[in-house]
Structure 1
Amino acid sequence: MTKFTHEQRMKAVLEVVENHMSCNSIGKQLGCGETLVRRWVKSYEQFGVEGIILKHGTYSGEFKQHVVEYMHEKNLSLFVTAALFGIPNGTTVANWERLYYEEGPQALYRNNRGRKKNMQSDRKIKENSTGKIQSANQVEEDLISEVQRLRMENEYLKKLNALVQERIVRENGKK
């Protein structure tokens, strides 16, 4: 995804607002979609020049909850809500909404950024010979049972070999 500077965004917005050009034509000139240009224009109309400046940051749990609840209370779209609250992207609001409804409002208060600290071994998966996916614990159990089966088979073959040798000795001794 191409990042656009503040100047590029501002120039595109002014072309739409002052020169009455279409968002589609500006989007084609910049090599981006018309939706992105339309979002910049809405941010500009809502917040002025400040709405065009990229704002990235960490939001509090209370703020996230307020945004999601306000969006549903007023029946607003993701991108309109994002523009209203000065959030750079509607996808961010969509992620908050998903967390809110899947895990509850308390999920918005957790800091889920960054890499997870440990990967548990039972989360690792492997395909077995039949093509089924198994957890690491299941794979370990299958390997242990295979080792036991092979040991039993080995003992059986040793006993069979001993019996065959004994029979050969007996038959050779009779003649």
Structure 2
Amino acid sequence: MKRYDVRFKLQVAKEACKTSISVKAVARGHGLDFSTVRRWAATYRLHGWRGFYRKARSYDLPFKLDVLEKMRQEGMSARQATTYFQIGSAGAVAQWQRLYADGGAQALAPRPLPPQKPMKKTRSSKPAEDMSRDELLKEVAYLRAETAYLKKLDALIQQEQAAQRAKRTPSKD
């Protein structure tokens, strides 16, 4: 699925909402799928320009139940609910519907995380008092190397996360 710049989405949505041109013609003019332009136009009508600045988020049980209840009461489709509640994917809403139909509200509750494994002890099996000077020096060198490695790994992870955030953050024009 191709990602489009927020400014482009906003331009297309405004064109579809504020001109006499049909949504299909706007879609054809920009080489886009009709349903994509229709969704952008609906988002713009409901939420304005703020509707295009979505944040990745997880949804708790009460929110999911509210979405499903609103869909039932108003006969909304998953796509309409996605636009109305600013949910990232209509597939997620459809999955909530399936889970709710199969297992009720408990099926929508988040699954508990698996238990964490305890951290591994240091490689030294002897207490420091029983070690010779050479053994202590080797242990210190090993621990320094391990610390340096972990710091570099942490720096690489932070750098990668910053690059992903920069890629996701829309420009402020």
TM-score (norm 1): 0.58
Compared with structure 1, are the counterparts of its residues 82 and 106 closer, same or farther at alpha carbon in structure 2 (3 Å cutoff)? same
Aligned to 2:37: 37
Asked if 1:4 corresponds to 2:7, the answer is no
What SS does the aligned partner of 2:75 have?
coil
What is the 5 A alignment of 1:3-152? 3-111=3-111
Counterpart residue identity of residue 57, structure 1: R
Q: Higher relative contact order at CA 8 Å, sep ≥6: structure 1 or structure 2?
A: 2
Compared with structure 1, are the counterparts of its residues 18 and 70 closer, same or farther at alpha carbon in structure 2 (3 Å cutoff)? closer
Report the Cα offset of residue 66 of structure 1: 1.4
- Given that 2:54 and 2:86 are in contact with CA atoms closer than 8 Å, whether structure 1 keeps it comes out as no
Report the Cα offset of residue 112 of structure 1: 8.7
Counterparts of 2:28 and 2:112 in 1: how far apart (Å)? Answer: 36
Counterparts of 2:76 and 2:30 in 1: how far apart (Å)? Answer: 28
Report the Cα offset of residue 51 of structure 1: 1.3
- Indicate the structure (1 or 2) with the bigger Cα radius of gyration: 1
Report the Cα offset of residue 95 of structure 1: 1.1
- Given that 1:62 and 1:109 are in contact with CA atoms closer than 8 Å, whether structure 2 keeps it comes out as no
- Given that 1:43 and 1:52 are in contact with CA atoms closer than 8 Å, whether structure 2 keeps it comes out as yes
Aligned to 2:137: none
Report the Cα offset of residue 59 of structure 1: 0.8
Aligned Cα RMSD in Å?
Answer: 2.3
Counterpart residue identity of residue 45, structure 2: E
Report the Cα offset of residue 90 of structure 1: 2.0
Report the Cα offset of residue 12 of structure 1: 0.3
Counterpart residue identity of residue 103, structure 1: G
- Given that 1:55 and 1:87 are in contact with CA atoms closer than 8 Å, whether structure 2 keeps it comes out as no
Structure 1 portions without partners, runs of 5+: 118-175
Counterpart residue identity of residue 27, structure 1: A
Structure 2 portions without partners, runs of 5+: 116-173
* 1:38-85 deviation digits (Å, cap 9, x = unpaired): 111111111111112233211111101111122112211112212111
Aligned to 2:135: none
